[in-house]
Structure 1
């Protein structure tokens, strides 16, 4: 349920000097930042990131950790399971690892904070490439920016990132072992990267000093489900012909059914949900008549809300994703990834 996490410590220059001496590393800053990759020469501790804080003599020392690799002592694509036993084992091993650098960095000093946590779930599928292609065409929620990355759905804002991707494709571009790359083939992963865990600590009423409280399965599942629905949308994937059969068989007025099919075609021709909204914003000729007339931000916002509500009411509630499978797809139907991620 957890891929990686990061803990941070605010300290003076003496702590940075001590860290460099113990690691036998020459801490050199580029601007106000220094990254030490594989600092301990062991699996689990991916990097130590040191930032010189603006208008201060303090530094932020952040340690990026993969909990599964730390516990197993080897590279892995498995996610950390948030059982009480695993969390207790992780606390012990992490503290021993930090103290092996120097006792100053012990978890017991109470100064470490959780600065990032990446919740994730994954499953194997022969359709991993198709899923990542379809989901990359989905909506981009308010305040998020969608970045075009091959083989993934990557959206980011100031406080978090979403990444739904082909793990095998990602590892193929690294220097990981051939065995690990082979094991990752066909592996789909949905990941929510929380860059400001203070929000989650407050939401779940966990004291900042007790940040291991976020290492719980029910919290991870709740967070992942909420963001999956927001970024991917509910509903299974169909070709246009299959979607049309379902829609025409619904207990709706014929004119409404025709409007639903028109919206589906419009999104398909636009290439993505985002592009469809851009077409509405630009009042393009391809836009269905009910959503024409955007000539200001106010009018666009009204039309966008109307468009989104129509999709929720007539597609998502009927179990149809607004993104269509390609017409030449070898399958006319593909279940939403939520079925594999969150259904036992």
Structure 2
């Protein structure tokens, strides 16, 4: 591999309009971790992707965007080893992709206003901010030219062309499809077709990518670490229960649990068929989990996969 890096570096530094950008692309992939952690250096990957993106290679632009969004900048900061950057890694990611600490969760006091109207306005603002980034997913099986629905769920977009959903929604194969239309009539451009890029059965996570490179997603990339989530805090889920797209439900954190080593958030916010793969937010609008299942056994217990597990999944 060292020899390959040497030759790719020579080609990248040459002035050849064909081989130079392709060499930068290959070096970007190597340093992004294509050949293991030994050669991984995300800052160098970013430099090479930027170099070939400036030469007009669309694939490099996409890979550069991956590194600029959730959660790759956290990994770059970790490699830099700065204490201040390390602190920011543990606390969240801003809308622009820069890592910054989320503000402290401050309990409302009577003087600050704890009326139902204030709480309602908080929910309204959260929904308006994050509803566009949650998509209903229908997985279809193609049979003799016809499409047969296999499963129904939700997904949360994490950048302009990728989204996270549950593995169990795509485990049987098929074609994931979303319809992103607010009006009565559906245009061809409103239909989003996904490919399954990666899966993690243990975490029950799957990474989706848009098939059409010209389509773009609204996305959320602010998150709150699992260790900062508190039992009793107010949370909101957005998903497609029973196929009702972009539905907001409310609850509290009931418990913090682990199942087969996976960090889970138990909540009273309902998670029913169609909600799987949706988003769970704290009251400040930070993503804390991916809704995954509801269990009815002497009660109704609902669970979300902690956002930290999503970061770990994407970083592997």
TM-score where L is the length of structure 2: 0.28
Relative contact order (alpha carbons < 8 A, sep ≥ 6): 1 or 2 greater?
Answer: 1
Whichever of the two has the greater Rg, that structure is 1
Q: Which has the higher strand share?
A: 2
TM-score where L is the length of structure 1: 0.27
